[in-house]
A and B are shown apart, each in its own frame.
Chain A
Amino acid sequence: DQQVKQNSPSLSVQEGRISILNCDYTNSMFDYFLWYKKYPAEGPTFLISISSIKDKNEDGRFTVFLNKSAKHLSLHIVPSQPGDSAVYFCAASGSSNTGKLIFGQGTTLQVKP
């Protein structure tokens, strides 16, 4: 039972264009969402997060949008750069106040020069 789903295993975009990565969740009790980025042979690293009281959070080229009614969040990268090529994981907090996260399967982004 996947509570956090990333339905696109991969995405390819041209350098300079926008990358949009999507994530859906099923548990309405989730109240905090994060995106992690992972390069080969490395552990995931934190990228950006958003609380359920907001619908948008921006950090430089990265923006996360949250649509609570649709139980959907997305990560926008503008402009995309070749160094952004990595696996991106969406994660959600189970609101158990323990720091536990539920991760999606990941989406592999390739940014072509």
Chain B
Amino acid sequence: DAGVIQSPRHEVTEMGQEVTLRCKPISGHNSLFWYRQTMMRGLELLIYFNNNVPIDDSGMPEDRFSAKMPNASFSTLKIQPSEPRDSAVYFCASMLWTGSYEQYFGPGTRLTVT
């Protein structure tokens, strides 16, 4: 199994531009999570999906952030317009929800907004 795949691994963009982060979860997993890691706040949950349906988006910072999961093998996190304070590492994680809480993380996307 290839594990959770995220692209791009690094993204540098200018303030005001649209940024799209992509995630392919592990095949057969039915839950998908988007996290943001910063020095100040650690790992913050932004949004998660169960069976492709968004369950809790209370962690999404503001309307500039949106996430979709059109099918079981693909999800996107979009920031439009991007701001310098969005600079962080964004992780996607997936899990097969069977009562275990073990999530499998991708390698992350390091976003820099100048």
Contacts and interface: CB of A to CB of B under 8 A. Distances in A.
For the side of the interface on A, what is the size category? Answer: 20 to 34
Given A43-B106, A46-B103, A99 B95 contact: yes
Contacts of A89: 42-43
Interface in B63-114: 91, 93, 95, 97, 101-108
B55 interface: yes
For the side of the interface on B, what is the size category? Answer: 20 to 34
Residue from the set A36, A41, A43, A45 with the largest chain B CB neighbour count within 10 Å: A43
B45 A100 contact: yes
A26 B41 CA distance: 16
Given A43-B93, A101-B45, A106-B43, A49 B101 contact: yes
Given A43-B4, A49-B101, A49-B102, A104 B91 contact: no
Interface of A: 6, 32, 34, 36, 41-46, 49, 89, 91, 93, 98-106
B70 to A, nearest CB: 21
B108 A46 contact: no
Contacts of A100: 33, 45, 48, 55-56
